[in-house]
Structure 1
């Protein structure tokens, strides 16, 4: 493994920014100091030129569509887009085809990623109304969490039997990660709007159909059940101001049993954007009001919300162009999530230290990921260099996603990822990928 010395970096880590050098050997951060000299001629020196060095982003919620939906994306193409965006590790969701609801199907995903992923990888195990016995067999040291869909985004993965839910919450050996939207509320709202508009419902009604009420009802029930059973609960993609009251900001993350996250699109867009973007910003849960958008950002800063993720979920342009009832929800985000958050930094809405805390440190703490998420001696050298003053415009020629489009199309970002290192290997530099050689690793978790 090549030795790498990163010189003249502004290191953003654990609440501070310091100027210094980082020496990498055998994929591990071997030394961090004010100034380090190359000790042998085989050291590859990379001058950061005063740019910022961050820990690699850990995205705990992506949909890379393999197996079964590879016309949208594969683990290879999704992870390639991720490293272009500074994401060095991902946790992928179970709603593929077939779904990841047996140990056999989980292992098949690990086997695919071992030979094709550009980024470090892991996969959540899916819960259903009838697979509790499989859940109990899951190995906590290699599986990050159990994923439950409490809204019908994923069809027959909806877990809607209260007795089954309580059993899973009581017996799960792992954290439970949930998508919270109340199915009965959504169904009622959708039927009312189909009766009025047919299939071509105006997109601006999406947050009325998948409403604040639907989100709060479901998330409040999940939180109440976690408190009743003592389960470790993580609520994905908050989208409303109202839900923030369910989460504590007094304890340090390591002591919380109930946590929450927000996704980049809920921080960037609001319902005024539906007129221009239409179904291309159709997500579940829906993007809601500017008031919700602002509250979510504040909740992130004041620690009611613990993690920033993407919920990267690509579909083809043709699929997204359908009328409301036929257009799938979700969009590609991994390539542009960090530049978008850095744009909010430039707008003085969030600090660099807070971005790193929520995108790097906290996912590692939350899932007990071994030796990642921080710039520390002895940790894996998953690192990202960003230039905060190198504007670039998102356009088809530089979009890496297999689906070929981005909800940020036409946006000019002020910051760019210049280098991405995965396990001490430089894999991406200035919009170019270095020749692929499997060097990504399966994430492991520091659990008994």
Structure 2
């Protein structure tokens, strides 16, 4: 690979913004200094006026392959990811078939090795009856074990008390949970069906998948983790009530119980259902403006450790269905960094905090090896951002296979100038530059 020198960049890294030059060699950061001579490089990029962030690590995406490729696939969604400054992703096991055996899990890695423009890892799935397979998972090259403590695709709802105790007591690696209490959701569904029949309004979604449903399940997960000393990561926190379960009194490196917030729970509220309808139907549901503001406070004060997307595309036609028939989820990975930069322009979060929550902390939490920071000898995953150039989302520039976005028509205040994965340019204003770039993530966990 040719040696690349980036000069005059404002580097956002490790809680600081510094103007420095960066030399990339053999896919890694070779040197970071106040000034590096151009004679050391084959190519020089003048990044004056631009900000250089570590590539984002999205710890929760659904790229739908295998089995659901009419919605998305690893190739299309990794393209959308790098266009949004996301250079590494961790993908969920509720594909078809569910990734509930080591062989099925490895099939996904083989697909990504051929097709992913971004770096990748895939969660091992847990069910009520596959604990033996779960315990075979290699913590060095798999990010974690996913437990759906709420409704999911196929055989992935884990609601058996003994199974949950088995998982939390025996699994040594990180356990990531989707927490919604299924019994509460069923009772709420029956209540609103008796009132509205099959024409339940989308505005009832946060009442059906309620605050109580989330808290009951999240608190159970935290109780189990404390009881068994497990490493627990609670995904997509959607309520203010759940925030009391998480601690900000110790450094992330020492935490065994952590939490994630997603872009949609930071951006939308129940007031948006009237305009957006089922296109903002997610599980857990987008809830009140109060919940949204409290989640942002928890991001800033350290009770919530990472920001991700839960990118989960469905076709436009599927999302146009009535409440019960429209699936939950939507595409977000292309616009997550842009949304965070809008929050920066609004004075809600600093650039340093964006890098921390969306790049550094996922790397720390999952013990990702040599990624997530702008550091000498680390893999050169990074994104250059133009903070002052607008970017309007339209059907023409959406790269997710589904072809729509809840942000369609919105003009972000910043633009992704270019994205590099393992030192290779994969996206710039000309579009996607395809070729070999993504690598399997490795982890320093036991």
The alignment's TM-score, normalised by the length of structure 1, stands at 0.99
Look up the match of 2:7. Answer: 7
Look up the match of 1:344. Answer: 343
Question: Equivalences for 1:51-62 in 2 at 5 Å?
Answer: 51-62=50-61
Kept in 1, the 8 Å contact 2:93–2:123? The answer is: yes
CA distance in 2, matches of 1:80, 1:2: 23
Question: Equivalences for 1:358-437 in 2 at 5 Å?
Answer: 358-430=357-429, 432-434=431-433, 436-437=434-435
CA distance in 2, matches of 1:12, 1:335: 20
Question: Equivalences for 1:169-208 in 2 at 5 Å?
Answer: 169-208=168-207
Question: Equivalences for 1:213-292 in 2 at 5 Å?
Answer: 213-292=212-291
SS at match of 2:12: strand
CA distance in 1, matches of 2:354, 2:110: 32
Look up the match of 2:293. Answer: 294
Kept in 1, the 8 Å contact 2:98–2:155? The answer is: no
CA distance in 1, matches of 2:397, 2:438: 23
CA distance in 1, matches of 2:291, 2:154: 27
CA distance in 2, matches of 1:197, 1:271: 19
Deviations 1:204-252 (A, max 9, x none): 1100000000000000011011000111100000000010000000100
CA distance in 1, matches of 2:327, 2:173: 30
CA distance in 2, matches of 1:300, 1:29: 29
Look up the match of 1:136. Answer: 135
Kept in 2, the 8 Å contact 1:84–1:431? The answer is: no
Look up the match of 1:26. Answer: 26
CA distance in 2, matches of 1:323, 1:134: 38
User: Residue 439 of structure 1: CA displacement?
Assistant: 2.0
User: Residue 173 of structure 1: CA displacement?
Assistant: 2.5
Look up the match of 2:210. Answer: 211
Kept in 2, the 8 Å contact 1:153–1:284? The answer is: no
CA distance in 2, matches of 1:431, 1:388: 18
CA distance in 2, matches of 1:392, 1:125: 36
User: Residue 2 of structure 1: CA displacement?
Assistant: 1.4
User: Residue 50 of structure 1: CA displacement?
Assistant: 2.0
Kept in 1, the 8 Å contact 2:172–2:231? The answer is: no
Kept in 1, the 8 Å contact 2:65–2:72? The answer is: yes
Deviations 1:147-179 (A, max 9, x none): 000010334210000011001100003110000
Unaligned runs of 5+ in 2: none
SS at match of 1:216: helix
CA distance in 2, matches of 1:392, 1:50: 17
SS at match of 1:374: coil
The alignment's TM-score, normalised by the length of structure 2, stands at 0.99
CA distance in 1, matches of 2:198, 2:385: 44
Unaligned runs of 5+ in 1: none
The worse-fitting range, judged by mean Cα deviation, of 93-102 and 152-161 is 152-161
Kept in 2, the 8 Å contact 1:136–1:172? The answer is: yes
CA distance in 2, matches of 1:444, 1:392: 34
Look up the match of 2:100. Answer: 101
Kept in 2, the 8 Å contact 1:189–1:209? The answer is: yes
Kept in 2, the 8 Å contact 1:392–1:412? The answer is: yes
Kept in 1, the 8 Å contact 2:173–2:445? The answer is: no
Kept in 2, the 8 Å contact 1:149–1:159? The answer is: yes
SS at match of 1:157: coil
Q: How many residues align?
A: 446
User: Residue 441 of structure 1: CA displacement?
Assistant: 0.5
CA distance in 1, matches of 2:57, 2:299: 17
RMSD: 0.8
Question: Equivalences for 1:88-127 in 2 at 5 Å?
Answer: 88-127=87-126
